[in-house]
């Protein structure tokens, strides 16, 4: 089994369409979550607040720069996620095709690497380069 993140992506237009049908979409979303729970693959699911309520912290050579939402120049926004523990990428994709969505939105499917796949130890030179 492997964890996969199904990331809900939308645009201003698809987000507006979603809000126009929010009652129906919430019912269908609860049904989707129930189906994943009954199948034994549900790990977590969360929606995100309106992007105008957020901020972006940009990193460069100097001090970090904070930009308040809405995010200038962004056409595509993350709206939330479902995390599933499934047997394969194909199974994750099959579940993604069942996510309640509106035209113009998308679901990005990304595997979450296991702890054993993430480097645990580095030498001092790598540590200092990562912190620079």
Q: Tokens 């200038």 sit at which residue?
A: 72
Domain 2-131 carries which CATH code? 3.30.70.1060
Residue spans of alpha helices (H) in 70-123: 89-96
- Which residue ranges make up each domain of the chain? 2-131
- Whether omega before 70 lies within 30 degrees of 0, making that bond cis, reads yes
Reading the block at residue 64, the tokens are: 């970090």
Give per-residue pLDDT as tens, 69-123: 766 556 678 889 999 999 999 999 999 999 999 999 999 999 999 888 877 766 5
Q: The whole model's pTM is what?
A: 0.80
| The pLDDT of residue 125 is above 60 | no
| Residue % of the chain over a pLDDT of 70 | 86
Q: Which of 115, 110, 86 is nearest to 8 (CA)?
A: 110
């Amino acid at each position: 089994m492997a964890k996969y993140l199904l990331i809900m992506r939308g645009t201003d237009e698809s987000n507006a369409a979603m809000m126009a049908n929010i009652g129906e979409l919430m019912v269908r979303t609860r049904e989707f979550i129930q189906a994943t729970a009954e199948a034994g693959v549900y790990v977590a699911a969360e929606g995100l607040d309106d992007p105008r309520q957020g901020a972006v912290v940009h990193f460069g050579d100097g001090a970090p720069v904070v930009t308040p939402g809405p995010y200038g120049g962004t056409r595509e926004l993350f709206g939330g996620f479902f995390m599933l523990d499934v047997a394969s990428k194909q199974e994750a994709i099959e579940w993604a095709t069942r996510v309640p969505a509106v035209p113009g939105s998308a679901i990005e499917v990304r595997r979450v690497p296991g702890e054993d796949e993430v480097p645990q130890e580095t030498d001092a030179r790598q540590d200092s380069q990562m912190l620079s």
